[in-house]
Amino acid sequence: VKGVFKIYKKFENLDEEKKNRIINASLEEFSRKGYAGASTNEIVKRAGISKGLLFHYFENKKYLFKYLTDYCIEVTMKDFYERIDNDETDLFEKIKNIMVIKAELLDKYPAIFKFIEVAYLDSSPEAHEIMENRSQEVLNSSIARVFTNIDTSRFKDGFDLEKVINLVLWSLEGYATAEMNKAKLTSTDVDYKKLFEGVDVYINLLKQSFYK
Amino acid sequence: VKGVFKIYKKFENLDEEKKNRIINASLEEFSRKGYAGASTNEIVKRAGISKGLLFHYFENKKYLFKYLTDYCIEVTMKDFYERIDNDETDLFEKIKNIMVIKAELLDKYPAIFKFIEVAYLDSSPEAHEIMENRSQEVLNSSIARVFTNIDTSRFKDGFDLEKVINLVLWSLEGYATAEMNKAKLTSTDVDYKKLFEGVDVYINLLKQSFYK
Amino acid sequence: VKGVFKIYKKFENLDEEKKNRIINASLEEFSRKGYAGASTNEIVKRAGISKGLLFHYFENKKYLFKYLTDYCIEVTMKDFYERIDNDETDLFEKIKNIMVIKAELLDKYPAIFKFIEVAYLDSSPEAHEIMENRSQEVLNSSIARVFTNIDTSRFKDGFDLEKVINLVLWSLEGYATAEMNKAKLTSTDVDYKKLFEGVDVYINLLKQSFYK
Amino acid sequence: VKGVFKIYKKFENLDEEKKNRIINASLEEFSRKGYAGASTNEIVKRAGISKGLLFHYFENKKYLFKYLTDYCIEVTMKDFYERIDNDETDLFEKIKNIMVIKAELLDKYPAIFKFIEVAYLDSSPEAHEIMENRSQEVLNSSIARVFTNIDTSRFKDGFDLEKVINLVLWSLEGYATAEMNKAKLTSTDVDYKKLFEGVDVYINLLKQSFYK
DNA sequence: AATGAATGAGCTTTCATTCAT
DNA sequence: AATGAATGAAAGCTCATTCAT
């Protein structure tokens, strides 16, 4: 319990079980209906608490949303950085490492990931205001921290390395997104094994082009 | 005015000026607040029409949203296909052609593009139901229609061409998105000239790798 | 076309087919939803005419309701008096005669009867205002006209004849209502044959008591 | 407060004064305008409560109507059965007893009786659905419970007693209804003394016919 | 005569939030 | 801390009626 959460002291002091009931009920409702569509009535019903209590803890809907945002980023980021292999120097292995971690987190915290996605894309002014800086800040810091340590000697000479790395990143992100969309469309769960097999084909293509 | 719009006969027969007032007011309100947050009250106020009239035309909020979706896709698609250069056989030129068109359309119809984005990402059940099939249908048909005609003889032999094209597409999309985000963050208008200059660097990189 | 209908000149001059379409649509809607619940929108839709036209003919909802009331009473009353056997002098035969006619009319004009019932029982102020005097006026005149001519010599002496006739009337009305309710409850159509067979038992009981 | 009312717990726990204000305001509005015509706006205004509160208690208009129906039947039935003389074995005295009680109840709860009548006769689908079974169920149980205990030895032999009782019931009901209508027409309050004097004439007529 | 677009008051209902207990 | 009754603004939508054509 630190930093960002000071305003929510009352809530943070609750026993874990109740906290989780409230968090999960809120995540689900916001995820399903977006910021404006979400009903605090539904949340308290699902969480099994009284109307007044929710506002006792969070003051209003917007702050509840803000709390959830902070909470979700905190949880996922912490887990993410703990798992990342800082000694990996091969660009492609690093990216694969990240993809695997992302997939595992998505499996471990599906509700949280869904909420982050919804919150990030929500177009209500309140959600916008809250997400504005957070997302970019997080993204930037992470990319920077992650892509230090890359062994540049493996690349063919004469390339602008930053640009090559960008290309590789965009390509593999494109691959992941395309596969995710395919899964969404057929409403099947994402098959991570296949996902990683598929990515190797593209990685080989890219290696052929950019590695010595 | 055809096909999809038959259900909205009453509205389609209006004079352009009034139609546009209503469409613009609606697009803006939905874009700013999302489906659930948007207020039909606000829309009629901004459009300068009576409350009853909006429902006379569209029956309910959901159908209004559906109309706007259809309208926006219709307008942009039509314009898009009229501008596309069907004789272009070079993959990179084709993609650049598409990027230019997209940029021009974005400039010409900012409200429409904003709405499409918001509609596509909205998490309210009603918006989801409406967008479900539309988006994918559009996407698929367009990609198929656009990437016929590519001269494959220019590529180095031994590559799986479909995969190479995917890589190129994902890369350049990644570039465009990154630049857009940068612009959004600094709240400056997108400078298309710089955008296209920038892309050439990446195109050259890719050509070096995949062209003979 | 006479008397009561002068105000509705415009409507009365219509061709029968269209008039009937409008009347039937209106009767059905009012019957199903009552005065307040009935929707002029539904009526014009069902009648296949424009919104404006209905108000062109009837000025407003209340006057339409009034027209229908007048129309229904006119139609049924006329038919009723044409069929009644003025030469019948036996009280019980007369009442049976009336019951038969009522049953036939109910069969011939089910929509009209339903409307009269609904209109009579409706509790909205507008319906009340319209029905107030009409119903009682009709009832009184009819009873008076119908029960002239009765051969009083058949009754046992010493009875107050008016009171005996009342008793007989109330009894048989009670029987009819009870049977109707039974039919309504089991949702079967009224079986008139059985109805008239059943009434004879009661008539015999009453004859035993009051006839010489 | 039992059985039927469990769904309306929130409302039932109110202090009597407020409960009555809401019940009376509702009864009056529904009685005057019928189900469809009644305005929840009007009700809350008259009851002196906020708009939201009514729906907090009753969820929607239909359930409010249902509550009132249950409430009215409960109140009148309870009072009715408490007053009825179960030791009376003479048919005519029993009927007179019932008429007296009905008249007293009508005097004691005029609004409730008016509402029951209006609810029973209302032609809106919602009211129908609610009243459908209730009314018959009540009616049946009451008649059965009331007409046990009748001393049948007083009747002339050779009569079908069930039918005779029906005749008597229908007759006296007819009398009561006729007198009520007269009162309604002249808009005077019902004069119960006169009502009961009048009925004796008819009772004597019937006794002469059916008693030994 | 006939249309149906247009109105705006009114409808029932839901909402986030407050507050006495 | 915890409740849930209470609020009233705002929501989406329907209504009878008017009026230019």
Express each pLDDT in A72-95 by its tens digit: 999 999 999 899 888 999 999 998
pLDDT > 60? residue C5: no
The average confidence (pLDDT) of chain B is 88
Q: Helix C51-58 and helix C61-83: axis angle, to 10°?
A: 60
Mean pLDDT to the nearest integer, C1-10? 64
D209 near C CB under 8 A: yes
- Note the pLDDT of residue C140: 59
Contacts of B90 (CB under 8 A, 6+ apart): B150, B151, B154
* Percent of chain D scoring above 90 in pLDDT: 56
pLDDT > 90? residue A136: no
By C-alpha distance, the chain A residue nearest B200 is A163
Region of poorest pLDDT, from B170-184, D26-40, D76-90:
B170-184
Between A and B, how many residue pairs show a Cβ–Cβ distance under 8 A? 107
Local confidence band at C1 (pLDDT 50, 70, 90 cut-offs):
very low
Whether the CB-CB separation of A66 and A48 falls below 8 Å is answered with no
* Percent of chain B scoring above 90 in pLDDT: 57
Whether the CB-CB separation of B154 and A159 falls below 8 Å is answered with no
Contact C32 D125 (CB under 8 A): yes
Which range among A26-35, A113-122, D87-96 has the greatest average pLDDT? A26-35
Angle at CA of residue C16, ends C12 and C21, nearest 5°: 100
pLDDT > 80? residue B137: no
Angle at CA of residue D24, ends D20 and D30, nearest 5°: 145
- Note the pLDDT of residue D136: 62
Local confidence band at A4 (pLDDT 50, 70, 90 cut-offs):
low
Local confidence band at D42 (pLDDT 50, 70, 90 cut-offs):
very high
Whether the CB-CB separation of B127 and A121 falls below 8 Å is answered with no
Q: How far is the CA of A62 from the C1' of F8 (A)?
A: 21
Mean pLDDT to the nearest integer, B157-181? 89
Q: Find residue D211's DSSP bridge partners.
A: D155
Region of poorest pLDDT, from A161-165, A166-170, B42-46, D195-199:
D195-199
Chain E nucleotides near the protein (CB, 7 A): 1-20
Mutate to test the interface with D, among C123, C155, C161 (most CBs of D within 10 A): C123
- Note the pLDDT of residue C28: 95
Express each pLDDT in B15-64 by its tens digit: 999 999 999 999 999 999 999 999 999 999 999 999 999 999 999 999 99
Looking up tokens 């019957």 gives: C31
Distance from CA of C174 to the nearest CA of D (A): 5
B126 C-beta less than 7 Å away from strand F: no
- Note the pLDDT of residue D2: 47
- Note the pLDDT of residue C187: 64
- Note the pLDDT of residue A35: 95
Contact A164 B205 (CB under 8 A): yes
Closest residue by Cα to the C1' atom of nucleotide F15?
Answer: C39
Angle at CA of residue A32, ends A30 and A35, nearest 5°: 35
Region of poorest pLDDT, from A146-155, B47-56, B133-142, D67-76:
B133-142
Residues 23-82/B with CB < 7 A to strand F: 38-42, 51-52, 55-56, 59-62
Q: Which nucleotide is nearest to B55 (CA to C1')?
A: F13
- Reported as half-sphere exposure (CB side, CA atoms, 13 A), residue C186 has a value of 9
- Chains in contact with C, where contact means 3 or more Cβ–Cβ distances below 8 Å, are D
DSSP line for chain C? --GGGGGGHHHHTS-HHHHHHHHHHHHHHHHHHHHHH--HHHHHHHHT--HHHHHHHHSSHHHHHHHHHHHHHHHHHHHHHHHS-TT---HHHHHHHHHHHHHHHHHH-HHHHHHHHHHHH--SHHHHHHHHHHHHHHHHHHHHHHTSS--GGGBPTTS-HHHHHHHHHHHHHHHHHHHHHHHHHHTPPP-HHHHHHHHHHHHHHHHHHHB-
Express each pLDDT in B39-48 by its tens digit: 999 999 999 9
Contact A174 B163 (CB under 8 A): no
Mean pLDDT to the nearest integer, B173-183? 84
- Note the pLDDT of residue A1: 39
Residues 59-78/C with CB < 7 A to strand F: 59-62
- What would the two tokens of residue C154 be? 């058949």
Contact A37 B170 (CB under 8 A): no
Specify the DSSP element, H or E, that contains A68.
Answer: helix A61-83
CA distance D64 to D57: 8
Closest CA to B18 of B59, B46, B42: B46
Instruction: Give whole-number Cα distances, D87 to C1, D93, D211, in Å.
Output: 61, 11, 20
Local confidence band at B141 (pLDDT 50, 70, 90 cut-offs):
low
Residues 18-57/B with CB < 7 A to strand E: 18, 49-53, 56-57
Model pTM?
0.88
Which range among B1-10, B33-42, B165-174 has the greatest average pLDDT? B33-42
DSSP line for chain B? --GGGGGGHHHHTS-HHHHHHHHHHHHHHHHHHHHHH--HHHHHHHHT--HHHHHHHHSSHHHHHHHHHHHHHHHHHHHHHHH--TT---HHHHHHHHHHHHHHHHHH-HHHHHHHHHHHH--SHHHHHHHHHHHHHHHHHHHHHHTSS--GGGBPTTS-HHHHHHHHHHHHHHHHHHHHHHHHHHTPPP-HHHHHHHHHHHHHHHHHHHB-
- Chains in contact with D, where contact means 3 or more Cβ–Cβ distances below 8 Å, are C
- Note the pLDDT of residue A30: 96
pLDDT > 70? residue C199: yes
Mutate to test the interface with A, among B167, B180, B211 (most CBs of A within 10 A): B167
pLDDT > 80? residue D1: no
Enumerate the residues of chain A whose CB falls inside 8 A of the CB of residue B178.
166, 170
Which tops the pLDDT comparison, A53 or B198? A53
Express each pLDDT in C25-77 by its tens digit: 999 999 999 999 999 999 999 999 999 999 999 999 999 999 999 999 999 99
Contact D37 C35 (CB under 8 A): yes
Express each pLDDT in C106-121 by its tens digit: 889 999 999 998 998 8
Contact of chains D and C by CB distance (3 or more pairs under 8 angstroms): yes
Q: How far is the CA of A52 from the C1' of F3 (A)?
A: 7
D166 near C CB under 8 A: yes
D46 C-beta less than 7 Å away from strand F: no
C51 C-beta less than 7 Å away from strand E: yes
Please name the member of C163, C202, C209 whose beta carbon is closest to the beta carbon of D202. Answer: C163
Which range among A16-30, B176-190, D187-201 has the greatest average pLDDT? A16-30
Residues 25-54/A with CB < 7 A to strand F: 49-53
pLDDT > 80? residue A132: no
D16 C-beta less than 7 Å away from strand F: no
- What would the two tokens of residue C168 be? 């007989």
Distance from CA of A13 to the nearest CA of B (A): 32
Mean pLDDT to the nearest integer, C150-177? 90
B143 near A CB under 8 A: no
